[in-house]
Amino acid sequence: MPVIAPMPAARPARIPSQRDGVEESAGAVATEAAGTTVDHLTETYRAHYRSLLGLAALLLDDTASCEDVVQEAFIRVHSARKRVRDPEKTLAYLRQTVVNLSRSTLRRRILGLKLLSKPMPDMASAEEGAYDQLERRDLIKAMKGLQRRQREVLVLRYFADMTEAQVAETLGISLGSVKAYGSRGIAALRVSMEASA
């Protein structure tokens, strides 16, 4: 008899823990429902993949890196989707993640260039390129001469065709800062392009 008495006492102890597990999983479902769902994130990604790839292409210079950045952005936002409480902000989170990952890629490249022992090969001569490539090279050179924040604002505003409010949200700065960086960046670009002409 003494051996049988603990058995029923042990079973009720297990049943509440199972119920607790069910309640916890129901709470987890409620928490997941509060964040961005996988379906919504996937649809947003599918609908805006090309624009995200274009955004990365404006900040980076090769297709493979752009594709890597966009894929990594999706993975990171997917793993943090419960923190995106408003599903309408999913695209903004993806854009911001693309910008941040592009920055990291550029930082790694700069560090690699500093550590590289042999010099980089010279750029192709002007004869090999068309006139528009020359203009593009001048523009890229002028853009590289801008402050980092000015360059990011101009790329997002004019090349990615975002509104000032979207740029502010993507970069995490105020609308006034977007306007200020944009106007200073355009003025600096104008001076640089006129000097090279």
What are the tens digits of pLDDT across the range 97-109?
A: 999 999 888 888 8
In the predicted structure, residue 36 carries a pLDDT above the cut 60 = yes
Q: Which positions ≥6 away from 54 have C-beta within 8 Å? A: 160
Cite the DSSP H helix spans in 80-155: 90-115, 131-144, 148-154
DSSP 64-99: HHHHHHHHHHHHHHHHTGGG--SGGGHHHHHHHHHH
pTM for the structure as a whole: 0.46
- Lowest-pLDDT range of 13-27, 58-72, 103-117: 13-27
- Helix pair 38-59, 63-79: axis angle to 10 deg: 150
Q: Which residue has the higher pLDDT, 84 or 168?
A: 168
Question: Mean of the pLDDT values across residues 33-52?
Answer: 81
Q: Is 145 helix (H, G, I), strand (E, B) or coil?
A: coil
